[in-house]
Every structure is written in C-alpha cells, then in structure tokens.
A and B are shown apart, each in its own frame.
Chain A
Amino acid sequence: MSKLTPVLSAHWDEKDSFTIDAYTRNGGYKASAKALAMDPDAVIQLVKDSGLRGRGGAGFPTGMKWGFIPQGDNKEHYLVVNADESEPGTCKDTPLLMANPHVLIEGCIIACHAIRAKHAFIYIRGEVTHVVRRLNQAIEDAYKAGHLGKGIDLVLHVGAGAYICGEETALLDSLEGFRGQPRLRPPFPAIAGLYARPTVVNNVESIASVPAIIANGADWYQKYGTEKSKGMTLYSLSGHVNNPGQFEAPLGITLREILDLAGGVRTGHKLKFWTPGGSSTPLFTDEHLDTPLDYEGVAAAGSMLGTKALQIFDETTCVVRAVLRWTEFYKHESCGKCTPCREGTWWLVQILRDLENGSGSEEDLAKLLDLCDNIMGRSFCALGDGATSPITSSIKYFRDEYIAHVTGKGCPFDPVASTLFTSAGAK
C-alpha cells in the first residue's frame, strides 16, 4: 500500500485535466449538487465533523470559521479565496489550479451555500499568467454550464506583486482597491471583512478539499491523518533532492518517508537544514527527519506546519547566506505600516550582510536576537513574526557557522557547490 493518497491530485495526469469536460467526466460538480440540496448548517456541520483545518498556514478549523458568520443578519456575506501563494518555498496551490481549477470553483459553490453568500472572489497573485488564464476560462465554462450564476457569482481578482496580500486583512484592503496593508483585529473578517460585511477568507487548498469531503463524507476524511490533524494534504518537496515534486499524503507523514519516495537528498550530499512550511516557519535539521508533519507534531518540535513547503538544503549551503536572502525578502515585502517590521527588517538585513561578508562581530548575534525579540509579537501582522523565524532558528542550530564567518572574516562556502549545475559547465 502506498503511503500516498492522491485525492486533489488524483486526475492531474490526464492531459485535459483542467477542462470542465475532464472534471465532469471524473465526477465533478456532483458534490456541489449534493450540498445545494442540504441545509446550509448541515454542510457546515459536515465540514466541522471532517476535521478539515486551514491549509494556508495557520491550521484554523475550516468548519468553525464558516460557523462564525452571523446568520439572519440581513447583510451581504462574502467568500474570499486566498490564492496569493507567495510564501517562499510554497508551490502547491499554483500547480493545483493549473491542473484542476474546477475543483476550487466547486468548493466555492459549496462554501457560499454554507455561509449564505451570493458572491465569492478568488484573489490570485498576478505573477502566474497561465494559471489566471485557466481559472478565468474555468469560471466562464462553469457559468455556461449553469454551475455559477444561479444565485452564486464568482469573480477572479488578480493581484500585482505584493507578498503582504497573502495576509487576509491586507488581502481584503487590496480587494477593496487600496494598498495592501493589514487591518487591526478585532473586528475579525467574520464580522467585518470585505466592505465591512461578514466574510470568510480561506486558502485554495482548504476550499478545494471540500468537494471530496461532501462527496465521501466526514467519516471517510477522518480515516486519514492523525488525532487532531485529519485528512490528506499536499506536501511540496524542493531543493537539494534527487526528485522534487508534489506529494499528497495523510497528515503526519515524516520527511524521512517523503525523502525515501523522492530518491533522497541529492546523491553524494547530506541534509543540513530544511523548512517544514515555508521560510516563515523555524528551520529544522536532520534531527527532525522523523517529526510527524501534522499541526501538533511540527509545533511540538518548535516550528509550524505552515504551507507544508519542504525546502531542503544540503551541506554545501551557507545558512547565513540563506537567512540573509530570506531577510532581504521580508524587508522588501514589509508594507511599512508598523515600525517594528518596517525598521526592524531593515536593520536585520544590514547586520546579516555584514556577517555574511565577514565584517560582522560576535556581538552582532546578540543584536540580531535582540532585534528579533522586538519584532516578534510586536508587529501588526504575521509578516514581522515570520521574518524572525529563520534568524532565531538558524542561530539556535548553527551558531558556530555564524562565528566562522566572523573569525574567518568571510563566508567559508563556495556558492558554486550548491548550484545544480556545478559540473554541467554552465559557467
């Protein structure tokens, strides 16, 4: 028996998998028909019973989020799907939407029915033109087939290059036509979201998981995963491995098991550090190969499951260079609204640059940790918190390597050795 459980990915190998014909051929739009015949509260209860939790990073129970929408309030309700996949290392929603956009549309129909919304938006990042094409066509085809338009309207909204818009309240500001900057919470989007109306914001994979749950039932979904982390999910393996790719498995699988399936770390090299769920989740090392990759297991080991973006780095990689680059990313993407993040990420970059080029000192490590201490928990949104994760975790596991940059007055690594084409004559 395979350890893998393709459900979302089950038909991706059919050449026309993204078309409405293929989706319907494989049983698509039956779950939405079933859900539309159910009482909305029963749909919410079914999703609650399945144990589905948010796949965008935070892991909040999806059915519970839907249940927070006030009913009978005579206000418009909105569903907003977060397809702004931009967390470094994260590459699951983009291939999902390229191969099967209709599963998301069907999930939107079910979710709208459950929360009594007539209007849904998909906010997709703007840097993936072909995915935009596929989704746009799929929405047109779903209207033509009568799945959309009869009480539920769906609008595709294309972003324009801002990581911060993956933060749900910044996303809402962006969708309302403003600069994408996070809002103070409370009020939470369930009370005052899009246009100050009750709004559910869910990740692509969360909503795309719903049709299979409606079709097969909560008990079926409960059979997969671990005690508090139910179901299957997409793990995205990238970096220094022989065969990177998407692996759909029950929650709780380990990196060792996935690496075994993927032919291991690239031949002749060994694992040095990895992220369990994108760059905002504290780094792991080879100590964590057997950590169950579910919400509780990863948290107990000091990190977060995040987006299940497993970025693998072998011993040729300089951790200071890696962390510097991520920090430059956070500085670039900081929206500027709050001081700890705007100023803090700027200073983190200066100090890390000094360390990487050999002009830093040992005291700089204490300064980095002090800055992180003043950013973590003091920023307006999770971007600031995320910026500190690679720094504090890398100093925890690789302090000696930072010190080697100081004592050796420079980076001891050859960047060519970590490229994929070291021996391919690519220079």
Chain B
Amino acid sequence: MFSDQDLAVMDSIIKRYPRSRSAIMPLLHYAQSKAGYVTNEGIELIAKLLTIETAEVSAVATFYTQYKRKPVGEYHVGVCTNTLCAVMGGDAIFAGLKEHLGIENDGVTADGKVSLEHIECNAACDYAPVVMANWEFYDNQTVQSSKDLVDSMRQGNPTPPTRGPKSLPTWKENSAVLAGINDGRANEGVQAGEPTLLGLKLAKEGK
C-alpha cells in the first residue's frame, strides 16, 4: 500500500516538527489519503516511523472524527445540523439526503460514490444552511440543491464548491491536502463570498 515515495513523503512530514510525535496527525491524514481511511496497516506503519506503540496511534486515530476507520465515499458529504444551520434548514436537508440516498448517518451508497454524515458548526454561519463535501464549502443550500449535488457526484461530475477549487477533489486527494501536501490549487476559486464582503461594501458606501 505504501510505496517508497510515500515513505519519503512521510519522512518529510516528520521533519517538519522539532519532536517526531507531533507528526502523528498529518501522518494519519496522509495514510487516509492512500487507502481512503485509516487502515491497520497505516497505524502499524505510523507507529513504526514514530517508534511508539500501535495502541498510542490508535488512541489518537479514534479520538478525532475526521479520521475514518472504515471506507467512506469518493465524496463525503457533511450536513451541518448544529443549531443555527439545523433551524434554518439543515435538519430538512439531512433528512432529505438520507431519504434520497437511502442511507443513514455514517452510511455509504452501494456504488461507493457518496457517504453522509451530520456535522457540527463549520465556521460558515453567514452562509447557512451549509453542506460540506470532502471538507469544501457548499454555501446557502436547500433540500433540492443538496439532492442535485449528490446526484452530480453519483454521475461522476460533481458540482464545484461555492468557495473552493474550480472542481471538487476526491476524498483521497483532499486528505493529502490536510496532510500539508500542496496540490497547487490555492489560487482557484473566489477570495470571499458576498456575506464576507458585506461590511466592507457598506463601509465603502459610507453607511
């Protein structure tokens, strides 16, 4: 699963830190980018690289919800159901997607394309209701727009994020970005959406 090139990348991740154990989180993101989830093989490799016990790596891997211990979809969809998004439509969106996809929370469609999870506040409340896919922003969603989004994923041509790269990367590709690997796409997409700019616009109008 892990090639010599992967091992070289993992070595460079460890070298970022004054103490090697600090690399455990980016290494887990990186392992996830290879298999799509954190496998036992990944845990054993990280333990070996950091010269710690596999139990210590497992303890970390299972504490943080972004590390998955079983496969998720090529496109992992999170619906914010924390209070503000839930009230403004997140609950309806989540219920609509469960029905539309025929899966429950943490479920994956049979074709392996889409998985679904209800998530907590994702720091985009001025764009509520918010849906995330592979941790990219889909702002101002409705029940219908989110159904269209997952349909586009199953057809292999996902709708692009509202504030993000020009096209939606896969789960594995984005897991590598979270490991700190530069995919060269930082300049894609808008610098800000309208709500972000509202105060600045009003100030310039003298209001």
User: A residues bordering B, Cβ < 8 Å?
Assistant: 1-6, 9-10, 12-19, 76, 85-91, 93-95, 98-99, 119, 125-130, 132-134, 136-138, 140, 155-163, 174-180, 195, 235-240, 243-249, 261-262, 279, 309, 311, 313, 317, 321-322, 325-326, 329, 332-333, 415-416, 418-421, 424, 426-427
Report the separation of the CA atoms of residues A322 and B67 in the bound assembly, to the nearest whole angstrom.
28
Q: Is the CB of A89 within 8 A of B65?
A: no
Q: Judge if B28 is at the interface, Cβ distance under 8 Å.
A: yes
Bitwise interface map of B from 156 to 183 toward A, beta carbon under 8 Å scored 1, else 0: 0000010111000100001001111011
Shortest beta-carbon distance from B180 to chain A in Å = 6
Give the chain A neighbours of B165 by CB distance below 8 A: 130, 133
Q: Is the CB of B83 within 8 A of A134?
A: no
Which single residue of chain B is at the shortest CB-CB distance from A176? B22
Shortest beta-carbon distance from A416 to chain B in Å = 8
Which single residue of chain B is at the shortest CB-CB distance from A240? B88
Report the separation of the CA atoms of residues A244 and B119 in the bound assembly, to the nearest whole angstrom.
21
Q: Is the CB of A95 within 8 A of B64?
A: no
Q: Is the CB of A421 within 8 A of B186?
A: no
Give the chain A neighbours of B203 by CB distance below 8 A: 2, 4-6, 248
User: B residues bordering A, Cβ < 8 Å?
Assistant: 16-19, 21-26, 28-29, 50, 59-60, 63-67, 78, 81-84, 86-89, 91-92, 119-129, 132, 134-137, 142-144, 161, 163-165, 169, 174, 177-180, 182-183, 185-187, 189-203, 205-207
Q: Is the CB of A137 within 8 A of B182?
A: yes
Q: Is the CB of B123 within 8 A of A86?
A: yes
Report the separation of the CA atoms of residues A245 and B199 in the bound assembly, to the nearest whole angstrom.
7
Shortest beta-carbon distance from A17 to chain B in Å = 5
Which single residue of chain A is at the shortest CB-CB distance from B17? A155
Report the separation of the CA atoms of residues A237 and B123 in the bound assembly, to the nearest whole angstrom.
12
Shortest beta-carbon distance from B117 to chain A in Å = 10
Shortest beta-carbon distance from B67 to chain A in Å = 6
Q: Is the CB of B92 within 8 A of A94?
A: no
Q: Is the CB of A130 within 8 A of B87?
A: no
Shortest beta-carbon distance from B75 to chain A in Å = 13
Q: Is the CB of B178 within 8 A of A158?
A: yes
Q: Is the CB of A261 within 8 A of B60?
A: no
Which single residue of chain B is at the shortest CB-CB distance from A83? B123
Q: Is the CB of B65 within 8 A of A236?
A: no
Shortest beta-carbon distance from B116 to chain A in Å = 15
Shortest beta-carbon distance from B167 to chain A in Å = 12
Give the chain B neighbours of A93 by CB distance below 8 A: 123
Q: Is the CB of B128 within 8 A of A239?
A: yes
With A160-B67, A325-B81 already in contact, the answer to whether A246 and B120 are too (CB < 8 A) is: no
Q: Is the CB of A161 within 8 A of B66?
A: yes
Give the chain B neighbours of A19 by CB distance below 8 A: 187
With A10-B200, A19-B187, A90-B121 already in contact, the answer to whether A140 and B182 are too (CB < 8 A) is: yes
